Amino acid sequence: MPEINLLENYPKSKRNLDERQERKTPEVQRIARQFGKEFFDGDRLYGYGGYQYHPRFWQPVVPVFQNHYGLTQESRILDVGCAKGFMLHDFLQLIPGIKVRGIDISEYAIENAVADMKPFVQVADAKKLPFADQSFDLVISINTIHNLPFEECKQALREIGRVTRQDAFITIDAFRTPQEKRLMDMWNLTAKTYMSVDDWISLFKVVGYKGDYYWFIP
């Protein structure tokens, strides 16, 4: 269960934490947490401010996953919180024939998924994955399960462990120091469960999560 940054090649974006804190209200968070059009393609106030495919995001990242987990065209991968399927699209571009599936709670994201991924993505809940035990060689969840309340977050971790036969990788909101917690409080828009790194690791042990992990820290 190692801590490992497999997203080191993902482009870094500049974050205006002061502006986010000033504009963030309970109503803004309520709208963002619906994960609808406003979150993905509305004003930046509510989320991405336009969530469109560009190869510069995931194409540098996917080879890192391929090499680390030894993925081949025979591998089966699941993306929990796949949004519009951009990462899965780039997996299939890099490894033709690989079996990909994705789920997201957002009907809007699935309806607006990249065209070649529409047969492979569906609306579903991370805390009740619609797949049999050990269905996948690798389950990935990027900045997703922390959007659940604590008890549901625990269930989502158990579900990831249930449907993978081998590997898993997650990233979640976390902090190591009081300063990092302050930055997370300023930045957080949708997460309902974010904790210290030590608390997350303790939770992994409680729920039996044995996969890899890394942290999102603004």
Instruction: Check if the beta carbon of residue 25 is closer than 8 Å to that of residue 189.
Output: no
Q: What angle do CA 196, 156, 132 make, to 5 degrees?
A: 150
Are 133 and 162 in contact by the 8 Å Cβ rule? The answer is: yes
Q: Where are the domains of the chain?
A: 17-216
pLDDT digits (tens, 9 = 90+) for 185-201: 999 999 999 999 999 99
On whether the 17-216 domain is CATH 3.40.640.10, my answer is: no
**pTM confidence score:** 0.95
Give the tens place of pLDDT for each residue, 132-181.
999 999 999 999 999 999 999 999 999 999 999 999 999 999 999 999 99
What pLDDT, on a 0 to 100 scale, did the predictor assign at position 22?
86
Assess whether pLDDT exceeds 70 at residue 128.
Answer: yes
Q: Are 195 and 174 in contact (CB under 8 A)?
A: yes
